[in-house]
């Protein structure tokens, strides 16, 4: 599963090298769209993984971990939606097939997900940004950087959940930034890295279906989260705005 992502990333980076390994010798034109395709595919796969991990956590009676995975799945769907929007702007229909997740125990899944999120932040998005930067696609660079920063918060939440797994048996509300998909375990007025205030974060979890329970912490704009697989947008906001 993770190997597939690594192979795809290596293939993209290899395309930036000449046969003797000299970076940048090939024409730089056309690197941005492949980078977006890979980022989109990664997020679709991550969402599928988290949904599978959520089911396992629920089966083990770890409902707080289940809610974390469901919240993360929503965040990854938001990232995929951002990438998809940029791909569509180029005139292409985004396509991705998520690999079948490998599911272990919840403790194993937390460790695996933490490692993956850390690589996403430190390696995958960094390499994709390197590919895009010479083409001056500033909107794409901003997208990749925001998503990368959000992945750091995902890794932190997963690490803390792994350490306190026995305290997450009851349902738990997690807070996600409506702009970049960063996540927090507790409500805070502190601004997100993308600039949004803590009061615009969505409260996710504590219920059976995040798509029904997602609420803004305070008065926040309605946002569209892509419902992948159904090919439509899911609007999340206050109940009277649905």
Burial state string for 216-241 with b = 16 or more CB within 10 A and e = fewer than 16:
bbeebeebebbebeeeeebebbeeee
Domain annotation covers residue 231: no
* Residue 172 scores a pLDDT above 70: yes
CA distance 195 to 156: 19
pLDDT band at 49 (very low <50, low <70, confident <90, very high): very high
pLDDT at 28: 29
Averaged pLDDT, 52-61: 97
Domain annotation covers residue 201: no
pLDDT tens-digit series, residues 182-223: 998 888 888 887 888 878 888 988 765 444 444 433 332 223
Domain annotation covers residue 218: no
Domain annotation covers residue 145: yes
Number of structural domains in the chain: 1
Do residues 99 and 45 lie in contact, with contact meaning Cβ atoms separated by under 8 Å? yes
Domain annotation covers residue 186: no
* Residue 12 scores a pLDDT above 50: no
67/99: higher pLDDT: 67
Domain span including residue 60: 2-170
- Residue 104: enclosing H or E segment and its boundaries? none
Query: What is the chain's mean pLDDT, rounded?
Result: 75
* Residue 170 scores a pLDDT above 70: yes
Domain annotation covers residue 192: no
Cross-strand bridge partners of residue 235: 224
Domain annotation covers residue 12: yes
* Residue 90 scores a pLDDT above 90: no
Domain annotation covers residue 239: no
Nearest to 82 by CA among 43, 122, 129, 136: 43
CA distance 66 to 51: 9
**CA dihedral sign of residues 145, 118, 38, 69:** negative
* Residue 1 scores a pLDDT above 50: no
Highest-confidence segment of 11-15, 41-45, 104-108, 137-141: 104-108
pLDDT band at 124 (very low <50, low <70, confident <90, very high): confident
Environment class of 158 (CB within 10 Å of its CB; exposed 0-12, middle 13-18, buried 19+)? buried
CATH number at residue 136: 1.20.1260.10
């Amino acid at each position: 599963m993770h190997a597939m992502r690594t192979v795809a990333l290596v293939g993209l980076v290899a395309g930036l090298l000449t046969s003797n390994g000299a970076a940048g010798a090939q024409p730089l034109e056309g690197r941005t769209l492949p980078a977006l395709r890979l980022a989109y595919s990664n997020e679709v796969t991550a969402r599928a993984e988290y949904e599978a991990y959520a089911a396992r956590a629920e089966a083990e009676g770890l409902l707080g971990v289940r809610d974390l995975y469901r919240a993360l799945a929503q965040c990854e769907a938001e990232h995929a939606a951002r990438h998809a929007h940029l791909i569509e702007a180029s005139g292409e229909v985004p396509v991705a097939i998520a690999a079948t997740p490998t599911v272990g125990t919840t403790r194993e899944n937390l460790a695996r997900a933490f490692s993956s999120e850390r690589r996403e932040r430190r390696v995958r998005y960094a390499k994709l940004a390197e590919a895009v930067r010479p083409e001056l696609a500033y909107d794409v660079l901003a997208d990749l950087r925001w998503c990368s920063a959000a992945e750091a918060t995902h890794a932190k939440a997963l690490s803390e959940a792994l350490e306190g797994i026995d305290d997450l048996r009851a349902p738990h509300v997690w807070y996600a930034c409506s702009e970049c998909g960063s996540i927090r375990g507790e409500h805070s007025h502190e601004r997100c890295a993308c600039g949004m205030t803590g009061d615009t974060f969505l409260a996710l979890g504590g219920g059976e279906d995040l798509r029904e329970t997602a609420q803004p912490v305070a008065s926040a704009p309605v946002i569209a989260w892509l419902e992948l697989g159904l090919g439509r947008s899911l609007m999340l906001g206050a109940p009277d705005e649905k």
